[in-house]
């Protein structure tokens, strides 16, 4: 589907959004019931770091599984995995299966259907999707985008009779249809949540009980797994299961936690072992690699295999919130799905699955139980895709060319960069300043009043910085986010050389994108030693020291929007709020999502430039939060956020004003001098 068409149809995902909010609310209610959550999370991270990609542990796990009576088959790719399942089915033409994201990844149902096998999904949500053809939207809530009325229509059409749109009636109708099919089947298929290497055991967690029915088919149970499912022992596997449940559903534990250590057996008659007393006579594990070994050796992306599949990253992803499963790959949704697709499918598929859509806002990282830095994966993949000429998209090409030719993304002559500063004092008395003010491209060309306010306020705070004027060039943030790594490195090297001014020890900027990027210079050039600060850090100190006295021009109710690059990326949350709280006559209210869980404005990562309709849709949802909080004014500290939030309201019913914090502070100065 075209991304703009997906944006226009975004209202269809409102039930999904409500379901996601309910998960977060349940988490908040249940958090106090897991007093050792932080300890458990650290334990899980250590387990994932030490086991994922460990080839020796994989061999140990397979050896112990086979010693316990499992039969393990290895499959190199999706096609080989499908052939293995077909081989295990033999002449059987009916397969009942439980929910399995791994089966979706390899397209198993489609492959089996093409071979004449009837596949019956037994999970209620997956069965609804099987009947409707709708896509999965969450690992544990696959049909969350559908209302009860949608489901009633789907089920009624399939059964040929009217079923009331009551959840209990719908579930009963689906169950009545499923049970005879399950009983008829001789072979079942399920996935698993973990393998305990020491014990040679398999762990499955589920809520509906259908896994019990599927796994008790008399002939055979086929289980799908992949190498990253392996944990050192059952204790670590169970710890993961508890965390996965909490992050996926908000609940403390699932209804069922099933541990299998081989087929059922008895030695009650003369101590002779008999396998398959009740349930399947044989359990076969298909261990599917499908690109994982190659991924484990990727220095940028190998950590993606530490994902435990809880789907928490989807809950507040700004892109997924608008377009749902259009963003992601089969079996793996959202940004992590796009990242995994580069190896589980190929890089071209990753681009098609939404590689250019990520705003790099880091909401996913904040919600991830193992703190996966998905935006870092995205940026690394964009760099690869650029080298392989799969990117940039058309909307990004003029911006990249402008930075290359003019030193800024706005197709503006270099000599106009310092126009805003003419007439302003840009260097302290007695010689060069120890501080450079880095205005950045957006303030220099699009938000010049904000740049002037920044310089005047720094002066009021006791700092008279050096400004480099037309010698200043783009920090490179757009290039780094879009994957133009070579051009970024060239630009960063030139900037570092230009900052090499005797006596200069720090850089102050008013743009969060510049702040994050200038701090990232050390990742590429370890000898870069200048301190980089945001102007709000300086002004907060001035307010606390009494050097800035502030009073609002009128009584005003404002809310503060945390820019992603300033907050989640650089940890600056308190300073802007200290400044706003110091303004007499101003009432500060918080939006539903703030600080580390602040909603993205939608502009970052090249989205506003490349996909303006998507950026506007994301921004409008943020503006709704501001209005719901009762704010007259949205205050932010990022030119990109200010522009996109304002642009997103054009043509809508929302009329909340948007202003940069620096302009508001200058307007509120009690000792404000005449403007230049």
Domain residues for the domain of 142 are 56-292
Tell me, yes or no, whether 624 lies in a domain. Answer: yes
Location of structure tokens 């935006």: 375
HEC assignment per residue over 377-429: HHHHHHHHHHHCCCCCCHHHHHHHHHHHHHCCCCCCCHHHCCHHHCCCCCCCC
Same domain as 589, residue 532: no
| pLDDT at residue 60 tops 50 | yes
- In-domain check, residue 19: no
**Is the pLDDT reported for residue 676 higher than 50?**
no
> Using CA atoms, how far apart are residues 561 and 579, in angstroms rounded to an integer?
14
Kindly state whether residue 74 falls inside one of the protein's structural domains.
yes
- CA distance linking residue 139 with residue 237, whole number of Å: 19
Three-class secondary structure assignment of 111-177: HHHHCCCEEEECCHHHHHHHHHCCCCCCCCCCCCCCCHHHHHHHHHHHHCCCCCCCHHHHHHHHHHH
Per-residue pLDDT, 429? 37
Q: How many CA atoms lie within 13 A of 404 on its CB side?
A: 11
Residue 36 domain flag: no
> Which one of 521, 539, 557 terminates a domain?
539
Q: How many domains does the chain have?
A: 4
Give bridge partners of residue 551 from the DSSP assignment.
Answer: 584
Is the per-residue pLDDT at 268 higher than 80?
no
CATH code of residue 503: 3.40.50
Asked if the model's pLDDT at residue 532 lies above 80, the reply is yes
478, 506, 539: which is the final residue of a domain? 539
* Average pLDDT, integer, range 205-212: 92
pLDDT digits (tens, 9 = 90+) for 406-445: 999 999 999 999 999 987 766 543 346 899 999 999 999 9
Residue 122 — φ and ψ, nearest 5°? -105, -15
CB of 117 within 8 A of CB of 93?
A: yes
Query: Which has the minimum average pLDDT: 186-200, 469-483, 649-663?
Result: 649-663
Residue 26 in domain: no
Percent residues over pLDDT 70 in the chain: 96
Contact 341, 332 (CB under 8 A): yes
Evaluate whether residue 618 is within a structural domain: yes
Same-domain pairing of 232 and 311:
no
Inside any domain, residue 623: yes
- pLDDT over 90 for what percent of the chain? 91
What pLDDT score does 272 carry?
A: 65
- Whether residue 297 is contained in a domain is answered as no
Q: Does the pTM exceed 0.85?
A: yes
DSSP 471: G
Looking at residue 673, its pLDDT comes to: 64
Other CB atoms within 10 Å distance of the CB of residue 249: 22
Same domain, yes or no: 564 and 637: yes
Residue 234: which CATH number?
A: 3.40.50.10420
pLDDT at 557: 96
Q: Tell me: the pLDDT tens digits for 122-157?
A: 999 999 999 999 999 999 899 999 999 999 999 999
491-512 mean pLDDT: 96
For residues 429 and 462, state if they share a domain.
yes
Q: Is the pLDDT confidence value at 573 over 60?
A: yes
CATH code of residue 557: 3.40.50.11810
Is 486 found in the same domain as 356?
no
Give the tokens for residue 78: 């999706």
- Residues 341-387: pLDDT tens digits? 999 889 999 999 999 999 999 999 999 999 999 999 999 999 999 99
CA angle 619, 624, 626 (to 5 degrees): 95
Are residue 156 and residue 263 in the same domain, yes or no?
A: yes
The reported pLDDT for the residue numbered 433 is: 82
Shared domain check, 183 and 266: yes
Same domain, 314 and 230: no
Q: What angle do CA 120, 350, 123 make, to 5 degrees?
A: 20
What tokens does 32 get?
Answer: 């106090």
CA-to-CA dists, residue 289 to 77, 82, 97, 237, angstroms:
6, 13, 21, 20
More confidently predicted of 624 and 266: 624
312 and 431 both lie in a single domain: no
Q: Which of 499, 468, 513 is nearest to 608 (CA)?
A: 513
Looking at residue 428, its pLDDT comes to 41
Question: Do 187 and 150 share a domain, yes or no?
Answer: yes
> Cβ of 469: how many Cβ atoms within 10 Å?
15
Q: Which of 196, 338, 164 is nearest to 260 (CA)?
A: 196
Same domain, 357 and 400: no
| Confidence band, pLDDT 50/70/90 cuts, at residue 674 | low
Mean pLDDT of the chain: 94
Whether residues 317 and 359 fall in one domain: yes
**Residue after which a domain boundary falls, among 273, 292, 311:** 292
């Amino acid at each position: 589907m075209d991304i703009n068409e997906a944006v226009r149809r975004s209202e269809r995902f409102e039930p999904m959004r409500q379901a996601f909010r309910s998960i977060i609310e349940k988490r908040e209610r249940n958090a106090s019931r897991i007093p050792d959550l932080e300890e458990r999370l650290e334990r899980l991270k250590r387990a994932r770091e030490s086991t994922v990609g460990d080839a020796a542990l994989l061999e140990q796990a397979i050896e112990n599984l086979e010693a316990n009576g499992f039969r393990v088959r290895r499959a190199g790719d999706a096609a080989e995995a499908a052939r293995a399942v077909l081989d295990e089915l033999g002449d059987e033409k009916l397969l009942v299966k439980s929910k399995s994201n791994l089966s979706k990844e390899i397209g198993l149902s489609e492959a089996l259907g093409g071979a004449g096998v009837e596949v019956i999904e037994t999970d209620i949500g997956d069965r609804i999707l099987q009947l409707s053809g709708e896509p999965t939207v969450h690992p544990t809530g696959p049909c969350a985008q559908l209302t009860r009325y949608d489901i009633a229509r789907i089920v009624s059409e399939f059964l040929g009779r009217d079923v009331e749109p009551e959840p209990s009636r719908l579930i009963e109708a689906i169950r009545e249809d499923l049970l005879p099919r399950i009983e008829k089947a001789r072979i079942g298929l399920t996935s698993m949540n973990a393998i305990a290497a020491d014990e040679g055991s398999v762990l499955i967690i589920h809520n509906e009980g259908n896994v019990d029915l599927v796994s008790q088919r008399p002939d055979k149970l086929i289980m799908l797994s992949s190498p990253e499912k392996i944990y050192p022992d059952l204790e670590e596997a169970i710890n993961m299961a508890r965390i996965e449940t909490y992050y996926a559903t908000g609940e403390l534990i699932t209804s069922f936690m099933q541990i299998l250590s081989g087929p059922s057996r008895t030695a009650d008659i003369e101590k002779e072992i008999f396998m398959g007393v009740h349930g399947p006579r044989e359990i076969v594990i298909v261990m599917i690699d499908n690109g994982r070994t190659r991924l484990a050796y990727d220095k940028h992306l190998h950590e993606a295999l530490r994902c435990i599949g809880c789907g928490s990253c989807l809950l507040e992803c700004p892109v997924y919130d608008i377009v749902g499963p259009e963003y992601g790959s089969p079996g793996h949704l959202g940004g992590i799905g796009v990242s995994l697709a580069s190896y589980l499918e190929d890089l071209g598929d990753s681009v098609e699955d939404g590689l250019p859509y990520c705003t790099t806002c880091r909401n996913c990282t904040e919600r991830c139980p193992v703190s996966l830095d998905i935006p870092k994966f995205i940026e690394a993949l964009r760099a690869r895709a650029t080298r392989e000429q799969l990117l940039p998209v058309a909307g990004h090409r003029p911006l990249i060319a402008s930075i290359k030719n003019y030193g800024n993304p706005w197709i503006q002559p270099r000599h106009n960069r310092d126009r805003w500063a003419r007439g302003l004092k840009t260097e302290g008395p007695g010689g060069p300043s120890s501080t450079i003010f880095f205005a950045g491209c957006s303030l220099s060309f699009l938000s010049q009043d904000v740049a002037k306010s920044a310089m005047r306020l720094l002066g009021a705070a006791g700092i008279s910085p050096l400004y480099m004027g037309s010698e200043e060039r783009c920090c490179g943030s757009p290039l780094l986010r879009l994957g133009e790594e070579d051009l970024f490195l060239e630009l960063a090297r030139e900037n570092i050389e230009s900052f090499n001014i005797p006596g200069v020890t720090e850089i102050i900027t008013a743009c969060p994108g510049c702040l994050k990027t200038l701090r990232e210079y050390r990742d590429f050039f370890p000898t870069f030693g200048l301190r980089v600060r945001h102007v709000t850090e300086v002004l907060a100190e001035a307010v606390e020291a009494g050097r800035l006295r502030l009073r609002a021009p009128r009584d005003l109710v404002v809310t503060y929007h945390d820019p992603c690059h300033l907050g989640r990326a650089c940890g600056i949350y308190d300073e802007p709020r200290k400044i706003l709280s110091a303004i007499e006559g101003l009432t500060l209210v918080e939006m539903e999502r703030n600080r580390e869980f602040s909603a993205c404005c939608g502009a970052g990562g090249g989205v506003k430039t490349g996909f303006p309709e998507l950026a506007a849709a994301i921004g409008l949802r943020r503006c709704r939060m501001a209005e719901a909080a009762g704010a007259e004014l949205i205050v932010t500290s990022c030119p990109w956020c200010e522009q996109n939030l304002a642009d997103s309201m054009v043509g809508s019913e929302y009329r909340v004003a948007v202003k940069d914090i620096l302009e508001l502070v200058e307007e509120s100065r009690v000792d404000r001098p005449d403007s230049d």
